[in-house]
Amino acid sequence: MCELDSDWRLYGNGLTDKEKEHLIDYVKEIEDTELLAHLHRAKEIYDLLRSNGVEALEDEWKYETIEYKYKTVSHLFEFRVGVYVKELDRYGMWGEFFGDDKRYLSFYAGDENFTEKEFGPLNSSFAFPGKDYSTIYSEAYSE
């Protein structure tokens, strides 16, 4: 507030350039953490829709719920699903890759064209209490 309102300057100094830069970076990390948590939740819902035989839509979006819109995103190495998170007005996606008897699951931030964007979430359970989320997982699988 010291930066925005001269009356507040009576109570302290404004931020240094280094503090401003850190604050901007930290806010981006918090926003990315919230997106990552939503992507995990969106994947759980997507898996439920598919496993319960919910019929896909016949337009560019494969499924739509109150919170999310889903579409298939083409990629050379992964099966990818793009997600529009309505609450955040942000886009993200996850990709699955199978190799070496493992399934790899990765989460990404994206733009409206589902092109990957820089993604730097915090390592915390900030957005949905009680859960820790990571951007990359691997687990053994058998055919």
39 falls within a domain: yes
The answer to whether the beta carbons of residues 92 and 107 sit under 8 Å apart is yes
> What is each CA distance from 16 to 6, 8, 35, in whole angstroms?
16, 16, 29
29 falls within a domain: yes
87 falls within a domain: yes
Range from 1-10, 53-62, 71-80, 125-134 carrying the lowest mean pLDDT: 125-134
How many domains, the chain?
1
56 falls within a domain: yes
* Residue 88 pLDDT > 60: yes
Strand partners of residue 107: 94
Range from 64-73, 113-122, 124-133 carrying the lowest mean pLDDT: 124-133
Give the residue numbers spanning the domain of 51. 15-140
10 falls within a domain: no
Q: What is the value of pTM for the model shown? A: 0.80
